[in-house]
């Protein structure tokens, strides 16, 4: 055994001695099983309660239980004593696993499918692929990527070469690059287990848990892999199930909200008819009608006739959350009246990239007080998302004088800053 590899093994054992919880990482399940087969006793993991965990991912781990992401979930308070049945009660969804900021590097070099592949080039590609594997084992991922890129150049018809480079991009936390390579691998060989595995793990890094679960399930069926099984059971599947439950709660909320809205509109119609009848009767008698508002009327006025109040923009420097389509229209009208640029940020609580954009969006709002920064949850105000043809989140619309002038799709911080500088008034 090479001396360098022995030194790496010694360092790993020292790390396990200082922090035995490393042995509970999903990637080390094979090593843990081996130790237990020799009679070793593995110390139980000292896992903190979910409410106190922070996102301090452990280095070199594909997914770490300490990397919990909290998502907001909407639930209906069925025991509301005030009769406000459509009130949203916010609760946290605890999501396991590491989510990284999307990589926006230029696309990596891909192979030319028209290149003629000879036996010599195939053999040479295999030699360089072996060198790339050695480079990864020595902790040199950039060198491994360069070697695999050369392999792909001389043998662009090999799905395994693309899938291998995709796995290196996953380990270097470049999920978008990994997805591009995995897609290329699957285009060449639709049954590439490694292609599905790499793409699934890359999507997990982006917080796309349901898509990740789908790819990893296919990979597991094509070629059973203990690492895939461990990640699916411990991280990806639980997250996907939580998100599905989250969507069901929002659907329940939406249906109940529609019922409440229909009831309020019916009540408003009844109140209007009664008021009209009373006004006519009093007018005939030569008196002035004074209508005393009831609690139901006050609720209707604030919910149905409150557009003027909702249209106020305030001094700026903050993000305004929109909870109804009427609010969005009122804010845009107010912005147009004041000749101010408005930005509509469509987001979702289950969206990993959106979590990275939220603090940047707030910072930009503070830096540009003359710009109106709006935020809409597509699950809460679905009709607005449909009206603006939102197909993915995050999406940013730039609106001036009531008209869309620009749009950004994706978590592109620098792009958002450039567009604001381009369209915002100079202060």
The domain ranges of the chain are 1-46, 306-423
Kindly report the average pLDDT of the chain as a whole number. 76
- The pLDDT score that the predictor gives to residue 302 is 35
Burial class (CB in 10 A: 0-12, 13-18, 19+), 184: buried
Higher pLDDT, 305 or 205: 205
Which residue in the list 184, 201, 320, 351 is annotated as catalytic?
Answer: 351
- The pLDDT score that the predictor gives to residue 353 is 86
Could you identify the residue written with the tokens 């959350």?
A: 321
The answer to whether residues 203 and 180 touch, using CB atoms and an 8 Å cutoff, is no
- Kindly tell me if the per-residue pLDDT of 219 is higher than 80: yes
- Kindly tell me if the per-residue pLDDT of 12 is higher than 90: no
One DSSP character per residue, 56-74 reads -PPTT-SS-TT--EEEEEE
Return the bridge partners of 87, or none. Answer: none
Q: pLDDT band at 5, cuts 50/70/90?
A: confident
Closest to 103 in 3D by CA, of 211, 180, 197: 180
Closest to 409 in 3D by CA, of 323, 346, 320: 346
The answer to whether residues 379 and 348 touch, using CB atoms and an 8 Å cutoff, is yes
Task: Give strand ranges (E) for 20-150.
Answer: 69-76, 88-95
Q: Confirm whether 151 is a catalytic residue.
A: no
- Percentage of residues of the chain with pLDDT beyond 70: 69
DSSP label at residue 86: T
Which residue in the list 22, 188, 354, 393 is annotated as catalytic?
Answer: 354
Higher pLDDT, 121 or 89: 121
Neighbours of 155 (CB within 10 A): 22
DSSP label at residue 291: P
* CATH 3.40.30.10 given to domain 306-423: yes
- The pLDDT score that the predictor gives to residue 405 is 93
User: In whole angstroms, what is the distance from residue 245 CA to residue 237 CA?
Assistant: 12
**What is the average pLDDT across 342-352?**
91
- Kindly tell me if the per-residue pLDDT of 251 is higher than 90: no
- Kindly tell me if the per-residue pLDDT of 6 is higher than 90: no
Q: pLDDT band at 91, cuts 50/70/90?
A: very low
**Nearby residues of 308 by Cβ (< 8 Å), 6 or more positions away:** 330
Lowest mean pLDDT among 28-42, 52-66, 220-234, 367-381: 52-66
- The pLDDT score that the predictor gives to residue 15 is 74
Higher pLDDT, 89 or 37: 37
What does the pLDDT look like over 153-173, one tens digit per residue?
999 999 999 999 999 999 999
**Nearby residues of 289 by Cβ (< 8 Å), 6 or more positions away:** 278, 279, 282, 283
C-alpha distance from residue 131 to each of 140, 143, 147, 157 (Å) = 11, 9, 7, 19
- Kindly tell me if the per-residue pLDDT of 396 is higher than 90: yes
User: In whole angstroms, what is the distance from residue 236 CA to residue 244 CA?
Assistant: 12
**What is the average pLDDT across 136-145?**
92
- Percentage of residues of the chain with pLDDT beyond 90: 36
Q: pLDDT band at 259, cuts 50/70/90?
A: confident
User: In whole angstroms, what is the distance from residue 357 CA to residue 411 CA?
Assistant: 6
The answer to whether residues 366 and 336 touch, using CB atoms and an 8 Å cutoff, is no
Higher pLDDT, 190 or 62: 190
Q: pLDDT band at 44, cuts 50/70/90?
A: low
Lowest mean pLDDT among 69-78, 98-107, 192-201, 326-335: 69-78
**Nearby residues of 176 by Cβ (< 8 Å), 6 or more positions away:** 102, 103, 104, 105, 202, 206
The answer to whether residues 379 and 247 touch, using CB atoms and an 8 Å cutoff, is yes
**What is the average pLDDT across 57-82?**
40
**What is the average pLDDT across 241-255?**
70
Greatest mean pLDDT range, 148-162, 203-217, 259-273: 148-162
Token pair belonging to 145:
């990527």
pTM: 0.44
Q: Confirm whether 16 is a catalytic residue.
A: no
Token pair belonging to 74:
């909407």
């Amino acid at each position: 055994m090479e001396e360098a590899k022995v030194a790496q093994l010694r360092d790993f054992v020292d790390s396990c001695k200082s922090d035995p919880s490393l042995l509970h990482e999903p990637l080390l399940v094979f090593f843990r099983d081996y130790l237990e087969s020799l009679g070793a006793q593995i110390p139980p993991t000292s896992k903190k309660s979910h409410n106190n965990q922070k996102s301090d991912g452990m280095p070199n781990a594909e997914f770490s239980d300490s990397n919990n992401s909290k998502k907001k979930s909407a639930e209906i308070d069925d025991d509301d004593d005030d009769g406000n049945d459509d009130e949203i009660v916010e609760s946290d969804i605890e999501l396991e696993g590491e989510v990284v900021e999307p990589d926006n590097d230029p696309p990596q070099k891909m192979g030319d499918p028209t290149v003629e592949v000879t036996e010599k080039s195939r053999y040479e590609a295999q030699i360089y692929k072996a060198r790339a594997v050695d480079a990864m084992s020595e902790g040199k991922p950039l060198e491994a990527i360069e070697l695999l890129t050369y392999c792909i150049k001389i043998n662009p018809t090999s799905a395994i070469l693309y899938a291998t480079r995709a796995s290196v991009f996953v380990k270097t936390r470049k999920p978008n690059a990994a997805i591009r390579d995995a897609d290329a691998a699957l285009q060449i060989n639709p049954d590439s287990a490694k292609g599905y595995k790499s793409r699934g793990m890359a999507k997990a890094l982006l917080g796309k848990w349901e898509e990740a679960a789908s790819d990893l399930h296919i990979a597991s069926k094509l070629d059973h892999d203990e690492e895939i099984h461990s990640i699916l059971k411990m991280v990806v599947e639980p997250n996907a199930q939580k998100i599905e439950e989250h969507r069901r709660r929002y659907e329940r909320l939406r249906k109940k909200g529609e019922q409440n809205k229909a009831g309020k509109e019916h009540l408003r119609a009844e109140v209007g008819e009664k008021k009209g009848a009373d006004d006519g009767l009093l007018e005939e008698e030569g008196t002035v009608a004074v209508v005393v508002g009831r609690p139901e009327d006050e609720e209707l006025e604030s919910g149905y006739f409150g557009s003027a109040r909702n249209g106020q923009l305030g001094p700026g420097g903050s993000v305004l959350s929109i909870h109804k389509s009427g609010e969005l229209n009122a804010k845009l009208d107010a912005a147009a009246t004041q000749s101010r640029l408005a930005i509509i940020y469509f987001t979702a609580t289950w969206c990993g990239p959106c979590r990275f954009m939220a603090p940047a969006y707030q910072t930009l709002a503070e830096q540009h007080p003359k710009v109106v920064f709006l935020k809409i949850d597509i699950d809460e105000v679905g009709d607005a998302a449909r009206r603006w043809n939102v197909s993915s989140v995050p999406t940013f619309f730039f609106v001036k004088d009531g008209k869309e002038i620009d749009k950004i799709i994706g978590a592109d911080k620098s792009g958002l800053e450039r567009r604001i500088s381009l369209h915002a008034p100079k202060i």
